[in-house]
Amino acid sequence: MKVMTRSIMLLLCLCVLWGCATTLSHEECRTIGWYEQGRADGVLGHAQSRLEGYRNACRDSGAMPDVLDYEQGRLDGVKQYCTPSGAYNAGRKGLEYEGVCTAPSDEFFAALHHGQEYYRTKRQIDRLGSAHYPFPINVFGHWGSSGRGGIGVSILLSDLSNLEDRLEYYSQWPPVAGRP
C-alpha cells in the first residue's frame, strides 16, 4: 500500500513539473490572456516549465501561448510569491516550493511551511468530519440514531477541538505568539 501511494505521489509530482496538470479547452486557448495566466501561475510559485503544458493543451486548437506575455506575467507574479505573505498564501493551497525564487529567505520557508500546516490541518478536519466518522452527532453526544455514544464521541470532539486550535494558529501569517 505504501509503495503504491508513493508511486502515485511521484507520478503527480512529475505531472506538475512537466506541466501535464495544465488543461485548457480549445476556446480558452484562443481567448486566454497569457500575461494574466502567467501572473496567476507566478503568484502560486509555478515554474516556467508549466508553459509546456499549455503548449500541449493548445496544440490542436490552432492557438499557441504567447510566450513573452506569459513569461512577463509569471515573473511579475513570482515577485509577489517570493515574499513571506506570498509563500504563506501558496502554502494554504497545499502547494510545494518549485524553486522559482532567486534567494528565498528563512522567513519565506517558515511562511510556506506555516501555510502548508494550515492546509494539512484543514484537510484533517474535513476528513475527520466525513470519512472517519460518517454518522452525525446530535447535541446529546450520540451517533446518529443508533444511540452509540460515550468514549468515541468524546475522542471525536477532543480531536476536532485540538485541530480547530491548530487551524486557528495557522490561519494567519505572521503567527500570533503561542503554539497549539
What is the arithmetic mean of pLDDT over 95-109? 96
Find out whether 46 and 71 touch, Cβ atoms under 8 Å.
no
Window from 8-12, 53-57, 79-83, 105-109 with minimum mean pLDDT = 8-12
What letter represents residue 97's amino acid?
Y
Kindly state whether residues 136 and 147 are assigned to the same domain: yes
Kindly state whether residues 52 and 114 are assigned to the same domain: no
Domain assignment present for 53: yes
Kindly state whether residues 179 and 115 are assigned to the same domain: yes
Confidence of residue 16 (pLDDT cuts 50, 70, 90): very low
Positive/negative CA dihedral, 65, 66, 69, 72: positive
Task: Give percent of the chain above pLDDT 90.
Answer: 52
Kindly state whether residues 77 and 133 are assigned to the same domain: no
Domain coverage including residue 35: 25-82
Asked which of 36, 51, 82 is the last residue of a domain, the reply is: 82
Confidence of residue 12 (pLDDT cuts 50, 70, 90): very low
Kindly state whether residues 128 and 42 are assigned to the same domain: no
Kindly state whether residues 91 and 165 are assigned to the same domain: yes
The domain tally of the chain equals 2
Confidence of residue 19 (pLDDT cuts 50, 70, 90): very low
Q: What is the pTM of this model?
A: 0.71
Kindly state whether residues 61 and 89 are assigned to the same domain: no
Domain assignment present for 19: no
Positive/negative CA dihedral, 58, 36, 71, 40: negative
Confidence of residue 113 (pLDDT cuts 50, 70, 90): very high
**What is the end-to-end Cα distance of the chain in Å, rounded?**
32
How far is 49 from 55, CA to CA, in rounded Å? 10
Q: What is the pLDDT of residues 80-100, one digit of tens each?
A: 999 999 999 999 999 999 999
Asked which of 82, 115, 130 is the last residue of a domain, the reply is: 82
Confidence of residue 161 (pLDDT cuts 50, 70, 90): confident
Tell the burial category of 167 from Cβ atoms under 10 Å away from its Cβ (0-12, 13-18, 19+): middle
**Which of 116, 117, 90 is closest to 101 using CA atoms?**
90
Kindly state whether residues 90 and 164 are assigned to the same domain: yes
Domain assignment present for 61: yes
pLDDT score recorded for residue 89: 96
Kindly state whether residues 70 and 91 are assigned to the same domain: no
Tell whether the model's pLDDT for residue 110 goes beyond 80.
yes
Kindly state whether residues 131 and 164 are assigned to the same domain: yes
Kindly state whether residues 146 and 59 are assigned to the same domain: no
Q: What is the pLDDT of residues 29-76, one digit of tens each?
A: 999 999 999 999 999 999 999 999 999 999 988 899 999 999 999 999
